[in-house]
Amino acid sequence: MRTYRGFAPRGLQSVPLEWMHCTLLHAVGLCRADIALDALLKDVARFAQKVRPFALTFDRPAVGNFAVEISGWPGPPFTQLVDALTEAMARTGGAFTAAPSRFPHLSVAYASDGAEDVDAVSLKVALAAIEQPLSATVVADRLHLVEQWHDGAHIMWAPVATVPLAGVTG
């Protein structure tokens, strides 16, 4: 992923390596104080212990409407987690809007001020000029519950809890 470091013309903000993530669900409008955290974590741990760790492979990025994203696969285990998390969040009773991820992806840059001036064709040419394999595989072996915010340039978060998938300790 270091290949994309600084890959952002005016109108795009690069995602620093330490902030790259694969979001499962945004529970929009819900914060930590709105839920019974222990009950939620027990609920999430119940289904997480039935899901074996799995590999997600991410390939070349594509220019989207709001970001430069790298799609990943396989989709089914990712979707299983998204659906289970959405149901668990709904059971909290907190009022929120569910914004589930529809497919596994990593964003390497987000649209920001000046995005209307980004030339998508030039950006695609720059991506095509990276003459090396860009695929990377990561093992999904735990879920991270975070409180997140956006500062107008980057998505950031504070960790709340980590829930391991089946067979993972620590």
pLDDT tens track for 72-87: 999 999 999 999 999 9
pLDDT tens track for 13-35: 888 888 888 999 999 998 888 88
CB 143 within 8 A of CB 48: yes
pLDDT at 147 exceeding the cut of 70: yes
Question: Coil, strand or helix: which one is 112?
Answer: coil
Looking at residue 94, its pLDDT comes to 86
β-partners of residue 116 are none
Range of 61-75, 77-91, 116-130 with top mean pLDDT: 77-91
| DSSP 8-state code for residue 47 | H
Looking at residue 6, its pLDDT comes to 53
Looking at residue 151, its pLDDT comes to 80
Contacts of 131 (CB under 8 A, 6+ apart): none
CA dist., res. 135 & res. 110, Å (int): 20
3-state secondary structure 36-63: CHHHHHHHHHHHHCCCCCEEEEEEEEEE
**Is the model more confident about 151 or about 6?**
151
Q: What is the mean pLDDT of residues 102-127?
A: 86
How confident is the prediction for the chain on average, in pLDDT? Answer: 88
β-partners of residue 138 are 56
Q: Helices 37-48 and 75-91, interaxial angle, to 10°?
A: 150
CATH of 2-163, one of 3.90.1140.10, 3.30.360.10, 1.10.260.40, 3.90.1150.200: 3.90.1140.10
Tokens representing residue 117 in the block: 């001036």
pLDDT tens track for 39-54: 999 999 999 999 999 9
Q: What is the mean pLDDT of residues 146-164?
A: 87
CA dist., res. 64 & res. 76, Å (int): 22
**Is the model more confident about 165 or about 114?**
165
Looking at residue 108, its pLDDT comes to 85
CA dist., res. 110 & res. 114, Å (int): 11
Contacts of 75 (CB under 8 A, 6+ apart): 103, 104
**Is the model more confident about 83 or about 9?**
83
